[in-house]
Amino acid sequence: MNVRAVVTGGAGFVGSHLCERLLAEGQEVVCVDNLSTGRAENITQLLDHPGFRFLLLDVTEGLDVPGRVDAVYHLASPASPADYLRLPLETLLVGSYGTRNALELARRHDAGFLLTSTSEVYGSPEVHPQPESYWGNVNPIGPRSVYDEAKRFGEAITMAYRRTHGVRTTIVRLFNTYGPRLRSDDGRAVPAFITQALAGRALTVTGDGSQTRSLCYVDDTVDGIVRALASGHSGPLNLGNPVEVTMRELALTVRGLCGSSSELTLIPRPQDDPQLRRPDITAAVRELGWEPRTALDEGLRRTIAHFREGACTGLPVHHEEAAPALA
């Protein structure tokens, strides 16, 4: 019997890649999205697949999926600073009501459940690199807290359902995923730098550019997600690339790969922007046999090619709306 999986946020960046991966493995996929930050074009190529179904639903208002459900992957949430700062209440609601509704769906069907949490639960870390045992350093009332605390609450209720109802849950914490299908106006560093470089505009680097991120290509992230749910491990498990890069280094790399002569311009850093970010993936290597395979240059080349293709085919790339690189 084929596995039938529900993917909330399935029309989003990571979610659409996950839907493709599950279909390629022969699973049936029910993609649930309200398209507040996801895009219909991310799943257009899947609509004719016999194993794929799309439901236009807001998971904060309930989640009733007809038929059998074997697995629930809960990815629904604004994920970029530009989005969750624009949609603060929606972000808190999807992390709370949305996660509860997704857990209830898994409980009713005795299905496995996976929550995609985030490295943002570590806040501005005072431990580096960050292991899963680190409790974090989060400003609970700052502008970024709507995302940080929504995910922290999501982890708490996921563990409560595991302990109280015996739901087979898994938590993964994603670190700065990038790749094709990132929106050009997403606000994160990679799409901002690429759209600026391709348009010949200045690359906007926040602060002095010394802050670091650890960038994981989307195919590697999705592979970790699939392995995590299959493993039965409760988590949390860090999924990210332990290779650390400064924002200035990233901007220079993108500029070079784009063949651009754009200048770098320094702008103020957002409030509570973490200075350091790098995952300790010891647990994922041990429990899942997982580690990222895609080198940064190769992943960036694929991502740049996607953005160039969008420009050539007339798809909206919003060069003039590219936000400052928020990472």
Instruction: Return d(Cα 15, Cα 21) in angstroms, integer.
Output: 10
Per the omega criterion (within 30 degrees of 0), is the bond before 129 cis?
Answer: yes
**Greatest C-alpha distance within the chain:** 58
Residue 181: half-sphere exposure toward Cβ, Cα within 13 Å: 23
DSSP output for 67-111? S---EEEE--S--SHHHHHHSHHHHHHIIIIIHHHHHHHHHHHT-
- What sections of the chain are H helices per DSSP? 13-24, 81-86, 88-93, 99-109, 145-165, 189-198, 218-231, 247-258, 282-288, 296-312
> For tokens 């784009």, what's the residue?
258
76 within 8 A of 94, measured Cβ to Cβ? yes
**C-alpha dihedral (109, 71, 53, 40), degrees to nearest 10:** 130
307: which 2 tokens?
């953005």
User: Could you give the residue numbers annotated as active site?
Assistant: 147
SS3 state at 291: coil
Q: What is the token pair recorded at 233?
A: 């491990």
Please choose, from the candidates 96, 69, 101, 116, the residue with its C-alpha nearest in 3D space to the C-alpha of residue 229: 116
End-to-end CA distance of the chain: 42
